[in-house]
Amino acid sequence: MTRVHTKAEVTAMGHVALVAGGDSAEREISLKGAKAVAGALERLGVHYSLVDGPRRLLEQVEAGHFDRVFNLLHGRGGEDGALQGALRLYGIPMTGSGVLASALTMSKVQTKRIWQAVGLPTPSYQICKKAEWLADDQAKAIANQDAQALIDAVGLPMFVKPNREGSSLGMSRVMDAQDIGPALIKAFEFDDEVLVEQLIEGRELTAGVIGTDVLPLIELKTPNEFYDFDAKYAAGTTEYLCPAPIDQELAESSSALCWRAFDVVGARGWGRVDLMLDQNNAPWLLEVNTTPGMTESSLLPKAALASGMDFEELVWQILSQAQIA
């Protein structure tokens, strides 16, 4: 339920910049989420203005128009530490993680390296750089010896995904050696660094985080090959089971692991941790999302609702925890 917020609490929020859109590959998803958040801010009585993209936001911040920022930019330019660093210079509080955690978690590889360093479970991987794989022509990406080297490192099946992209854009599930090259070429369209990762067969879960609270786990089930862009935003056939139908001990240990994964990379405020449970119910961490989606089909609002927090209160909790990055 939405807590009744006093006029003084609402006024203290000041003039809020709701920044969304921008020019990343996730622009439309960002704008869709901003529409939902804008409605919640209106119902809460918060004074806000919608701003399209980081450049326009910084121009208006420099002019002294805003007191805090609700960041709904996804991907590079808004979620990677660049905007966080700029707003730090102006001393403007913003929602979500600070400069270091935002930059770190934008890279799936760097996140996995931190997890490995502290002994947290994450699938084995290799990194492929576009300049090395496509230096001469795209034929190198499908050379047998190169594909075999990746298979030797992570095995089959595998996931091929852009290192610094979200919403499953450019991602492929690869079952056969002959499909590695096309999958790499597809991923290189979105990033010049590509993560080739061991595919964990099992159940896909996600854990939302608000402040220091881990929300009820969600299990995702889709008839698609994996939880891809279509399954997330278009198909309408994905099942969201919340709380996830797993026993209490496993749910508690998985939630604790997700909090550790979130905390160790320095994330704060709000976010989401994705993981797999293999066929032995062993957990494997995949990635941290420091600016999760806020559309009607997004995962964090579903988990918040399962915990008794409606959308307006979720928006309030995120906004009230804004800090200088």
Kindly give the pairing relationship between strand 270-278 and strand 125-129.
unpaired
Active site residue 293: yes
Active site residue 107: no
Catalytic residue of the set 26, 80, 191, 197: 26
Q: What are phi and psi of 17, to 5 degrees?
A: -90, 115
How far is C-alpha 136 from the geometric centre of its chain's CA atoms? 34
Residues ≥6 apart with Cβ < 8 Å to 299 = 206, 208, 218, 220, 240, 272, 292, 293
What's the Cα-to-Cα distance from 161 to each of 28, 110, 168, 191, 195, rounded to whole Å?
20, 14, 8, 9, 5
Kind and range of the H or E element at 261?
helix 248-264
Active site residue 233: yes
Catalytic residue of the set 76, 272, 312, 313: 272
**Rounded to an integer, what distance in angstroms lies between the CA atom of residue 204 and that of residue 278?**
9
Is the peptide bond between 123 and the residue preceding it cis, with omega within 30 degrees of 0? no
Kindly give the pairing relationship between strand 172-174 and strand 158-162.
antiparallel
99: left (phi over 0), alpha (psi -120 to 50) or beta: alpha
* Total residues found in the chain within this entry: 325
Catalytic residue of the set 293, 298, 312, 313: 293
Catalytic residue of the set 30, 71, 167, 254: 167
Q: Which two tokens stand for residue 10?
A: 């609402």
Active site residue 287: yes
Active site residue 272: yes
Catalytic residue of the set 165, 228, 274, 312: 274
Active-site amino acid positions: 26, 167, 233, 272, 274, 287, 289, 293
